[in-house]
A and B are shown apart, each in its own frame.
Chain A
Amino acid sequence: MSLHFTGEHEWIRVEGDVGTVGISSHAQEALGDIVFAEVPESGRTLNKGDEAAVVESVKAASDVYSPVAGEVIEGNAALAEDPALINRDPEGEGWFFKIRLADTSELDGLMDEAAYREWVKTL
């Protein structure tokens, strides 16, 4: 299992060729109270950097980009009823979708956890 982060504050936790994607604790804090999330349907094919999901706070809407290319195998159905789950547990139960990676070498371009946490401190 490995954990990676993007410069857009998505995380992806990878086991084998399946990744689970969400937004970082830093991102949820910056957004504030989340009132709506729309996750991709399973079967959808995404390229790296595609708009994969939408997250809205009281104040604003933001896009969530796919950190890698691949096919969506599950969206987190729990977020429709309880979008605040993203605030409560952003890097756990508040995940957005699972994706079967087309090319695991794309992970090499992402930050590891230590590098991301250090970088976020500088923002």
Chain B
Amino acid sequence: MAETTEMLAVLPLDAWHRARGARMVPFAGYAMPVQYEGVIAEHVWTRTSAGLFDVSHMGQLQVAGPNPAAAMERLLPGDIIGLRPGRVRYSLLLTKEGGIVDDLMVTNTGDHLYVVVNGATKWDDLVYLREHLPPATEIRHLQDHALLALQGPKAADALERLVAGVSGLTFMQAGHFEFHGRTIGVSRSGYTGEDGFEISILADQADALADALCAQDEVKPIGLGARDSLRLEAGLPLYGHDLDTETTPVMADLQFAIQKRRRAEGGFAGDMRILAELENGPAQKRVGLNVEGRQPVREGALILDSEGSEVGRVTSGTFSPSLQRPIAMGYVATPLAQQGTALKLEQRGKLFDAIVTPMPFVPHRYHRKQEPKP
């Protein structure tokens, strides 16, 4: 075993997880709960009620100083200057060649930008940001904060009882609220495809919030195992698996994260390549795959065309608890990325039939703002 318990960082809620029977595993340098009662039960609970996830391993950053939005736009292809206060946007941190350093969420708090990055990449991200942002841009790493996610169709009811006002948020909105007399940051967002919230809270208060949430009938703690199967069903990529510095936002089929003004103006790392890919199409593209049979096909499996030639690789795969069948995502040569294309997957010498399928595999159920009636 390369990683021992001694080398792992400890989450603020470590003892809380263990007391609830969590199995702890190494992930992103932390001891993290992979499951409590079982991945499938936790997965189904989140889709039907509300699941509490501890994602305190993720990096919470504040980007401040003179015009932090303009500074961040050098490295992100998203419209950050146009992001209004109280709004959240998914974006991508890019290399100068257009490869993806990380994927992240940016919130305009009104005072500064609040950025959440992946746990496994946060230390490298900090170095990258400090190297590439203007010296006057201040980057603060909120290491004294925990991050909890409450996800599922009953999340709003459960959280509103404890934190008045949160149910007024719609998808990708954020605000400051009060819990036990102290300020917490709440956004209506998540990584499961369900309605839900992400809650930034001082680490010493996280126990009290987790206890109060799980004291409600709708809420159970959910481990990393179900987090992965939920995000896969939702078609959401996982950094380090489905995204890396060799993939671009266009290859990853994340064009929605490149807003109109940025397409017109460029001015971000890798813009030449990314704008050309928007115009002409990328060489490879991330697709969803429905796999025949019952056996999961996982990361690393080869993707073959009908002639048996290698045309890509699976980057994530699992057994979908909601659909009761194996699903996967991977990259294929663009001409084969069309919905309905029949492909073969090769894993440990065995061939599987697969069909290119639009994602999400399971429809998103976000609480979007209602369009005003004419």
Contact = CB atoms under 8 A, between A and B. Distances in A.
A58 B40 contact: yes
Contacts of A57: 39
A64 B225 CA distance: 22
Given A56-B319, A58-B229, A58-B318, A35 B38 contact: no
Interface in A38-93: 38, 54, 56-59, 61, 80, 83
B286 interface: no
A55 to B, nearest CB: 10
B325 to A, nearest CB: 10
A36 B295 contact: yes
A59 B294 CA distance: 14
Interface of B: 34-35, 38-41, 43, 225, 228-229, 294-296, 298, 318-319, 321
A36 B35 contact: no
22 contacts: A32-B35, A32-B38, A32-B39, A32-B225, A33-B39, A35-B294, A35-B319, A36-B319, A38-B295, A58-B40, A58-B229, A58-B296, A58-B318, A58-B319, A58-B321, A59-B34, A59-B225, A59-B228, A61-B296, A61-B298, A80-B294, A83-B294
B295 A33 contact: no
A11 to B, nearest CB: 22
Interface of A: 32-33, 35-36, 38, 54, 56-59, 61, 80, 83
A31 B83 CA distance: 44
A80 B223 CA distance: 27
A80 B298 CA distance: 19
Given A33-B38, A36-B319, A58 B225 contact: yes
Contacts of A36: 294-296, 319
A14 B45 CA distance: 41
Nearest to A35: B319
Given A35-B319, A36-B319, A56 B38 contact: no
Taking each of B34, B35, B43, B296, which has the highest tally of chain A beta carbons within 10 Å of its own beta carbon?
Answer: B296
A32 B33 CA distance: 14
Contacts of A80: 294
Contacts of B318: 58-59
A58 B295 contact: no
Nearest to B321: A58
A57 B35 CA distance: 13
A88 to B, nearest CB: 12
A57 B41 CA distance: 13
Given A33-B40, A56-B296, 18 more contacts: A32-B38, A33-B38, A35-B294, A35-B296, A35-B319, A36-B295, A38-B295, A54-B295, A56-B295, A56-B319, A58-B39, A58-B40, A58-B43, A59-B39, A59-B225, A59-B228, A61-B296, A83-B294
B98 to A, nearest CB: 32
Contacts of B295: 36, 38, 54, 56
Contacts of B40: 33, 35, 58
Contacts of B225: 32, 58-59
Taking each of A54, A61, A80, which has the highest tally of chain B beta carbons within 10 Å of its own beta carbon?
Answer: A61
A36 B321 CA distance: 12
Give the 4 A-B CB pairs with smallest separation, nearest first: A35-B319, A33-B40, A58-B39, A36-B295
A76 B318 CA distance: 24
A54 to B, nearest CB: 8
A80 B295 CA distance: 10
B227 to A, nearest CB: 11
Taking each of B34, B39, B321, which has the highest tally of chain A beta carbons within 10 Å of its own beta carbon?
Answer: B39
A58 B232 CA distance: 12
A113 to B, nearest CB: 25
Contacts of A33: 38-41
Nearest to A83: B294
A41 to B, nearest CB: 14
A54 B225 CA distance: 20
Contacts of A58: 39-40, 43, 225, 229, 296, 318-319, 321
A8 B224 CA distance: 26
A61 B318 CA distance: 10
Contacts of B43: 58
B2 to A, nearest CB: 17
Taking each of B34, B225, B319, which has the highest tally of chain A beta carbons within 10 Å of its own beta carbon?
Answer: B319
A37 to B, nearest CB: 9
Contacts of A59: 34, 39, 225, 228, 318
Nearest to A30: B23
